[in-house]
Amino acid sequence: MEPHVFPKDRYARIPYRRCGNSGLKLPAVSLGFWQSLGEPGHEDVCRACCYEAFDHGVTHFDLANNYGPPPGNSELVVGKILCDMPRDELIVSTKAGYTMWPGPYGDWGSKKYLVASLDQSLRRLGLDYVDIFYHHRPDPDTPLEETLGTLDLIVRQGKALYAGVSNYNGQQFQAAVETIRAHDWTPLVIHQARYHMLARGVESDLMPHTRAAGTGIIAFCPLAQGILTDRYLDGLPPDSRQGRRGQAGRDWHQKLQADGTWEKVRKLNALAAGRGLTLAQMTLLWLLRHENVVSVLIGVSGVEQLRENISAVQAPPLTANELAEIETILGG
Ligand SMILES: NC(=O)c1ccc[n+]([C@@H]2O[C@H](COP(=O)([O-])OP(=O)(O)OC[C@H]3O[C@@H](n4cnc5c(N)ncnc54)[C@H](OP(=O)(O)O)[C@@H]3O)[C@@H](O)[C@H]2O)c1
């Protein structure tokens, strides 16, 4: 096969935003490999998505030790693709914090687990270092000093360039920042948080702390796993993320019907259409209205979705009127 040629104008195709007070810039849209793309049998579509993303200046690929399924498979699949891409032009992240192997050393936030997990991730990815290493979720039992001291160690060893946390609430994040300052450890440049129109807790709980600390937020599941797109408006497509769950997916769809979510999504969809946008695009623009949101971390099951989502950044920002209309729909 002919090697893929990445267009020379790729860096003009997307804006880059500074991650908090750090020197790291991320594309406004980043690509994650939690589901779909990292599954066995999806290698070709994964490669096509990596190339399509980078063609459009999407330099940031997000992974975790447990992404696949099975856990670890996304790193294996993406690792094979990264060999054919310019490493120094990419920001590759991975994480540890969820169950990876049996016993007391394969989960949460101990030094033993984090160090072993990152070494495994680097082997799967075929890399000497990742750009960002995250602690994936707070650990109620391990002292914060141990987890954060390990992130510092990993950066000093050169196995990661930057450190971040994910799923820490405002109070936990603030405690982490104070612990790091007290020890003069590597700062947290990024917080990976669930944030979309239907899950807005971070606005009041986390953002005041990340702003004050000079830490950027990258918003994961920005499309609410597909709810905030036109994917489910005509029912449950069998090939969709939820459709593939069978009865569990049907129950999920009915629950969102009963609690009025689909009605809101329909109204949002109409508002987006009136503006010449798809709902997915309007949703991403809505998140990017915050300066503290450095990037929206999307998932896709194919190149068409990726193209549609990335092109959101070409549209002008949402107006005050449009933002107010969205608030009315969400509040209603
Ligand atoms: N830190 C954490 O704890 C954590 C947790 C979850 C995720 N993440 C990160 O966030 C990334 C994104 O998560 P996510 O995949 O749930 O994000 P998402 O962007 O909210 O949802 C992605 C899904 O939405 C559907 N979709 C995307 N674009 C679409 C479009 N234009 N039109 C119609 N449907 C569209 C696709 O569903 P179909 O598959 O049905 O086509 C796709 O798989 C992950 O890959 C991971 O990197 C982090």
Task: Work out which ligand 1 atom sits closest to the CA atom of 224.
Answer: 20
The verdict on the CB of residue 74 being under 6 Å from ligand 1 is no
- Look at 2 and 11; give whichever has higher pLDDT: 11
Output the CA 160–ligand 1 centroid distance in Å.
25
What confidence tens digit (pLDDT) does each residue in 191-215 have?
Answer: 999 999 999 999 999 999 999 999 9
Can you tell me the mean pLDDT for 177-186? 98
- What average pLDDT is seen over the chain? 97
Q: Is the residue at 32 inside a domain?
A: yes
User: Does ligand 1 come within 6 angstroms of the Cβ of 231?
Assistant: yes
Here the CATH number for the domain that contains residue 36 is: 3.20.20.100
Answer yes or no: is 60 within a domain.
yes
Is 96 a domain residue? yes
Assign 3-state DSSP to the chain and report helix, strand, coil percentages, each to 5.
45, 15, 40
192 lines ligand 1 (CB under 6 A): yes
Helix 261-274 vs helix 320-331: crossing angle, to nearest 10: 160
Closest by Cα among 4, 1, 79, 7 to 43: 79
Residues in the chain: 332
**Residues 55-105: tens digit of each pLDDT:** 999 999 999 999 999 999 999 999 999 999 999 999 999 999 999 999 999
* Number of structural domains the chain divides into: 1
For ligand 1, atom 47, the nearest C-alpha belongs to 32
Residue-wise pLDDT for 224-234, tens only, equals 999 999 999 99
- Asked whether residue 325 is assigned to any structural domain, the reply reads no
Mean pLDDT on 173-189: 98
Q: Is 264 among the domain residues?
A: no
- The answer to whether the CB of 217 falls within 8 A of the CB of 293 is yes
Residue 38: CB within 6 Å of ligand 1? Answer: no
In a domain, 292, yes or no: yes
pLDDT one-digit tens code per residue, 146-165: 999 999 999 999 999 999 99
Mutational test site, ligand 1, from 220, 230, 277, 295, max ligand atoms within 8 Å of CB: 220
Task: Give yes or no for residue 224 CB within 6 A of ligand 1.
Answer: yes
Test site for ligand 1: of 92, 229, 295, 296, most ligand atoms within 8 A of the Cβ = 229
- Whether the predicted pLDDT of 329 surpasses 90: yes
Instruction: Confirm or reject: Cβ of 280 under 6 Å from ligand 1.
Output: yes
Q: Is residue 40 part of a domain?
A: yes
Residue 47 CA to ligand 1 centre (angstroms): 17
Q: What are the residues whose beta carbons fall under 8 Å from the beta carbon of 296, sequence distance 6 or more?
A: 28, 29, 30, 218, 219, 222, 284, 287, 288
Structural domain of residue 310, as residue ranges? 9-232+278-316
Calculate mean pLDDT across residues 124-146: 98
**Within a domain: 191:** yes
Neighbouring residues of 14: CB distance < 8 A, sequence distance ≥ 6: 27, 28, 29, 56, 57, 58, 310, 313
